[in-house]
Structure 1
Amino acid sequence: MTPRSERLQPAADQARQKTEDALAKFAAQQQALAKAEHQLGELERYRREYADAGAGAVSVGALLNRQQFVARIDQAIAQQASEVSRQHRRLEQMREHWKKAHARESALGSVIAQHQEYERRAEDRREQAEIDERMQHRRPR
């Protein structure tokens, strides 16, 4: 009969794989968030530079064009800020998913370790019983 700890090993292996997958998704989400934050920073920097450079507009038409362009940049900044918020929420979801997978893996590891310890003790008792049995049947000299 296969020891219980060995029968549980495939479940532990699967749990470890799920933890690794969740960690990889978490890392990918961290990168996606960093990229979105970088893009937001670039848009904000571009808007500041453009607004600073446009202080000397010459005609009303040029001023209106500049204002419309700044409004479009502001709209892009608002959209990107919304994307950053969405990426933050997604990151927290990935973190929770990883934490749950890791907790399950740890729990299975603990159960297996307990079973291994129980099996080791049972084997020690069996070996001691065999030694005691041999000692009883040993002939005195």
Structure 2
Amino acid sequence: MAVSRAARLAPVVDMAEKAEKTAVQRLAYFQGQVKVAESKLADLNAFRLDYSQQWIVRGSTGVSGQWLLGFQGFLAQLDTAVDQQRQSLVWHQNNLDKAREAWQQAFARVEGLRKLVQRYRDEAQRLEDKREQKLLDELSQRLPRRDAF
């Protein structure tokens, strides 16, 4: 009976393992998305810094009012892009956190099911060992004894 309990759980374990595998894939996907978002943010920050350096270079030689307005306008657009990318990074990090939590839950479920199946198998083995021992005891009692002369 205990063996059949372990066998009946096999499809449940398979489904839990598939769910855990899917959770791992989602986790990897969101880790990649965070890396991309971090890279884009770093690129935008570096570009903004380089663009700001132009003020130092060009400003020392004198600039027109039109150039200055264009510079400030583009710098404001860069600031907006940096802020949006920061928000995107936070959004991706939240998704990553949720995916990590989902994976941890799926992993714990699989491990719990595996332990339960092993417990059922161990129990079945103990019952089988007990049954064999009882059978051997009965057989040994039925055998005629040979006493030493």
Q: Any residues of structure 2 matched to 1:105-120 within 5 Å, and which?
A: 105-120=110-125
Moved over 2 A (4+): none
Letter in 2 for 1:4: R
Q: Secondary structure at the match of 1:3?
A: helix
How far 1:54 moved relative to its partner? 2.7
Percent identity between the aligned chains?
Answer: 32
**Aligned-partner Cα distance in 2 for 1:126–1:8:** 24
Equivalence for 1:140: 145
Letter in 2 for 1:114: R
Equivalence for 1:76: 81
**Aligned-partner Cα distance in 1 for 2:96–2:86:** 15
Equivalence for 1:101: 106
Asked if residue 25 in structure 1 is aligned to residue 52 in structure 2, the reply is: no
Letter in 1 for 2:117: I
Equivalence for 1:126: 131
Let me know the Cα RMSD of the aligned residues: 1.2
Equivalence for 2:7: 6
How far 1:14 moved relative to its partner? 1.2
Letter in 2 for 1:135: S
**Aligned-partner Cα distance in 2 for 1:7–1:129:** 28
Deviations 1:45-64 (A, max 9, x none): 00000010133152100110
Q: Please list every run of 5 or more consecutive structure 2 residues that lacks an aligned counterpart in the other structure.
A: none
How far 1:140 moved relative to its partner? 2.5
Q: Secondary structure at the match of 1:63?
A: helix
Aligned length: 141
With normalisation by structure 2, the TM-score equals 0.90
With normalisation by structure 1, the TM-score equals 0.95
Letter in 2 for 1:101: A
Asked if residue 86 in structure 1 is aligned to residue 87 in structure 2, the reply is: no
